[in-house]
Structure 1
């Protein structure tokens, strides 16, 4: 028998437990319980329903806290322990065997047994080996991968006992372990408990059955929240040497570790959580798919909408670029102070061309003039421009060539045709190069045809014009013109157009002594269009983000439902040593896993939709940054909207969670 030469492993003094209070009536369930339990004892606490025996078990197993009184474990005052320290004590010292087995339905027998070791930080290989050995000792070697619903009641209870032993099971707390079993299975379970007691485990048996209680070494009877009897059955089971060993092994648990416990290593816990979460998602795959749908649509929408916006924006840039995004247009004007209009000379333009902010300068004179070729007479816009025109307008020559700077300087009578002008003057001629036109009264030789370009908004049709050298035009066609109709200036970059404009104004103000010019630029028009496109893109992105937000709310609703459905599982995990952090991280990672999967599918769907849009010739430009951003937003959505359900799960009362249906 166990002697009294050693201090108690568990010592209760004046333990009271009350429920209610506030706006609810207060009920006291335990009334000043005093109880000592020594290392290696096999003790039965017996009482009728409502006597307080289950409440006492919850207090002994650190699932609940007393309202008052003292609970010392191995000499340490348990009332000073925080929730994580209590979790450590449950994990390291206690093993629970419940009447309802309390196995996690989605896990196999082996995985259920492994649960306490997960929170103890054992490696996967160690867990599997130990769980396999325990189940083998209990006759379940062939049931390792069976889930609880594939096991009989007696088999489930043996799995529960194996789980209680996983971390050593120094103290076995068995709550009505035979209550849900037939007589044969019940006898087998009691035999197992006697064997465990004989092997040195402290066994605390909670039961209402006096015949079951009589099989223990010591019987404590509780009635109406008070201990009314404490009888020790004299069984010569231990020698003094054995008892000393048991006391040393069980009462010397390093309680200080509870305050330093870091629990499961992060990556190991993450791997196990992802495995469990993936299984839950697969079991509830229809519900999971519906939850994922919101995230998938949100992520795909963000990617596609912004890709369309960026593609359209780039299309505008390209279109405007072909018309000159860095172009400015210089005209003379009447000063605001009055007087004659300004006069822009060739010397002015030479000085403007020397400015570092200016890349090219092109004076232009143009008007509609009668053009003849044989029996064809047409009024066509004739533009006298410089040799830089193709470079400024990014306009390609389709046939022949454009005139050179030397030809411009020498007043060469050459002409280049716009595509439409060529088709109207030479409808049946495949190559007009070498033909002559009479422009006004001066003959000009055709040296090239420009590529088809189209019309710029608010301007002439480029294709329906012909171009002659600027100096030849002034000398041969526009003799009355004293200055250009306008001058096109090309800035060195789009970002510096405003600086270039200011530099030109300052130069001409210095040269003319007054403000008698005006400057317009295509960059301002492009900027306005791009700002409009950006606004539309932001609106499209906002709409897509709203759908992502809706998906996040769906995740939160499903996780709240999951917490309600798995409340008992949460209680089981807490009873086996899970800390608040473990429960919080488990449900938070589950929520994030949903959004990670949804985000991945959303990115793939967005790429597929984008590929189809490209096939249909809709301008689309994918951005890797947008895809990463959309995916990250999905994950962050899971983190944000999964936090509240996860926190709710982590703050559940273990006793309440275990008693849920």
Structure 2
């Protein structure tokens, strides 16, 4: 707490000068205290009496730092605390005052031992020392066998003794007791008053708020308040004032003073306990985050898998290829489309940057093997076709230059065609098939390549020498396409321009098209990235909705636990303690939801993969989903936590 100027060595323990407290609005104020002048010395036993509504409880709240005066000056040991900050008032409550309330104000979900520990928790005392000190206090007050019981398992008198033990936890100088016997039976009330008398005899300063004259007569001084003013201040023949050795507040040892590390650890422990005590609410809060994170992980895995599959299919066709086809754009007449010749392929092969230029004929034809007929694409092509396309052989050989020169009737089957023609499992190589009633010898079977980028089956094809196709089947010289393999993919665009220039010079017009497979690969990649982003955005929206759900549940949690927050503030909790606890609750929920969501998202993606969908697992989407869930916990948990930290202690304690 900040240092304040002192009033000299003769300063009283508590001194009020012209204290007033107003409620309501500036236009319609309601004055509860007006011009209170009061001096209380260390070791006194003071009873403040008065009818209901006289302002005595408001006076106690100001004395204990739970409330602020509207005007006047409040001095504690000569220091002016009437204008302290909220955290400075919390420090005053933590080290100098202990509260005993009429309604006990114990934390319902905690044991008696844990309730007694609360003030020391916010004073920075380590857990072991807190438990030892709390257990000793409960033993001293006759509750050693009840330390593990929750408040609802204790009688009223026992609960009030727990409250007294809590007030003594940090060695408070001043015990403020607000109607300590008001909710007790006669015997329990007598026991509590006996305890308070013992505390006074031990040197504590007692300020007792009561409307019971019999209780007030046990004090050494009685102050009567009516209509917000002190109307009587009388010394009684009760306990002597100012014992010889008044109690001084006992701050925690330097090694145990409150620190961010200690506060964070304790807030984490409290957050975990609060979440465990409300499992259904925690589960409902988790649900939105789980669904959001699972959606992000699964959607991105499916999107990345789809992208990888499309790119693999395009790459399988050859990323280093240019495909030259006859016909200008938007020209569909057969005459103009019949423009490419084998000589064009030979000329392209001589261009710099070109590794291979392979001509192709092709039409759909029927192939017969025995009694089985299959209709497939039958292409006549050059001997370098398999090399240009990166297509391996599963069996046999590819046709040779000699086959090309002799227009040999040989055929290489695609994987799909071979399976369909020889469904009995026999080896196709060496067998004879008919193409348009022309017998062909099967000399090889291509390795399976799968579907193309457009989804067509690349293995549904049969290949023969270019000369054979022209002379034995099609009888024409014009090509269906020229496949050009470039030496350097990075220069594919430049080579494509060179090919266009050559064909334009040879043909005298643009009666052809050149498609760059590398550009197609880039375009497909960009398209798939857009689709993946769209899928991720849809999933992110569900995660955002989950975050809003977290905020709503946290608002409900704060509303339900207002009284708990007031109790913690009365025990010395700073704003940062409350802020940390509720922020950590949201963070823990979102962290757990993120981990569960990742597991479910991976499981959903794995099931989709088993069903045949393309899936690709990557670490970055998982990290992003987890990071986003943590960010949502911090973002959407902050506003409810901030509201909790800014609650007024008096109003919070008054909440039912």
Say yes or no: TM over 0.5: yes
User: What is the alpha-carbon distance in structure 2 between the residues aligned to residue 641 and residue 376 of structure 1?
Assistant: 68
Deviation for aligned residue 1:218: 2.1
2:93 is matched with which residue: 78, 83, 90? 90
Change (3 A) 1:161 1:360: farther
CA-based RMSD of the aligned residues comes to 4.0
Moved more, 587-596 or 264-273: 264-273
Secondary structure, in 3 states, of the residue corresponding to 1:19? strand
Q: TM-score, normalised by structure 1?
A: 0.84
Does the alignment pair 1:549 with 2:553?
no
User: What is the alpha-carbon distance in structure 2 between the residues aligned to residue 276 and residue 148 of structure 1?
Assistant: 18
> Is the 8 Å Cα contact of residues 340 and 481 (structure 2) preserved in structure 1?
no
Deviation for aligned residue 1:330: 2.1
2:312 is matched with which residue: 318, 324, 328? 318
User: What is the alpha-carbon distance in structure 1 between the residues aligned to residue 461 and residue 600 of structure 2?
Assistant: 48
2:115 aligns with 112
Matches within 5 A, 1:69-88: 69-88=72-91
1:611 aligns with 606
Change (3 A) 1:303 1:512: closer
Change (3 A) 1:83 1:387: farther
For structure 2, the residue ranges without an aligned partner over 5 or more in a row are 1-7, 331-335
Q: TM-score, normalised by structure 2?
A: 0.85
Deviation for aligned residue 1:9: 1.5
1:448 aligns with 444
1:269 aligns with 263
Q: How many residues align?
A: 638
1:300 aligns with 294
1:62 aligns with 65
Change (3 A) 1:19 1:445: same
Secondary structure, in 3 states, of the residue corresponding to 1:79? coil
Secondary structure, in 3 states, of the residue corresponding to 2:105? coil
Does the alignment pair 1:211 with 2:214?
yes
Does the alignment pair 1:44 with 2:40?
no
1:390 is matched with which residue: 380, 386, 395? 386
Any idea what the Cα deviations from partners look like across 1:477-530, whole Å, max 9, x if unmatched?
89974x854322345788x4xx51233314653797687553113455555555
> Is the 8 Å Cα contact of residues 408 and 469 (structure 1) preserved in structure 2?
yes
2:501 aligns with 509
Secondary structure, in 3 states, of the residue corresponding to 1:222? strand
> Is the 8 Å Cα contact of residues 590 and 633 (structure 2) preserved in structure 1?
yes
Does the alignment pair 1:655 with 2:647?
no
2:348 aligns with 349
2:3 aligns with none
Any idea what the Cα deviations from partners look like across 1:328-351, whole Å, max 9, x if unmatched?
212466799x9x978764564334
> Is the 8 Å Cα contact of residues 328 and 501 (structure 1) preserved in structure 2?
no
1:20 aligns with 24
Any idea what the Cα deviations from partners look like across 1:282-315, whole Å, max 9, x if unmatched?
3332233223222222222222222222223323
For structure 1, the residue ranges without an aligned partner over 5 or more in a row are none
Secondary structure, in 3 states, of the residue corresponding to 1:164? helix
Change (3 A) 1:236 1:524: closer
User: What is the alpha-carbon distance in structure 2 between the residues aligned to residue 125 and residue 378 of structure 1?
Assistant: 84
Deviation for aligned residue 1:641: 2.0
Change (3 A) 1:82 1:462: closer
Any idea what the Cα deviations from partners look like across 1:121-144, whole Å, max 9, x if unmatched?
111111111111111111111111
> Is the 8 Å Cα contact of residues 509 and 515 (structure 1) preserved in structure 2?
no
1:177 aligns with 180
> Is the 8 Å Cα contact of residues 220 and 239 (structure 2) preserved in structure 1?
no
1:638 aligns with 633
Secondary structure, in 3 states, of the residue corresponding to 2:82? helix
Deviation for aligned residue 1:392: 4.2
User: What is the alpha-carbon distance in structure 1 between the residues aligned to residue 282 and residue 424 of structure 2?
Assistant: 69
Deviation for aligned residue 1:646: 1.3
Secondary structure, in 3 states, of the residue corresponding to 2:266? helix
User: What is the alpha-carbon distance in structure 1 between the residues aligned to residue 370 and residue 239 of structure 2?
Assistant: 135
Does the alignment pair 1:467 with 2:474?
no
1:500 aligns with 492
2:564 is matched with which residue: 569, 576, 583? 569
1:193 aligns with 196
Moved more, 556-565 or 421-430: 421-430
Matches within 5 A, 1:330-349: 330-331=324-325, 345=344, 348-349=347-348
User: What is the alpha-carbon distance in structure 2 between the residues aligned to residue 492 and residue 126 of structure 1?
Assistant: 77
Change (3 A) 1:330 1:306: same
Deviation for aligned residue 1:581: 1.5
User: What is the alpha-carbon distance in structure 2 between the residues aligned to residue 370 and residue 588 of structure 1?
Assistant: 72
Does the alignment pair 1:126 with 2:129?
yes
User: What is the alpha-carbon distance in structure 1 between the residues aligned to residue 423 and residue 95 of structure 2?
Assistant: 97
2:15 aligns with 11
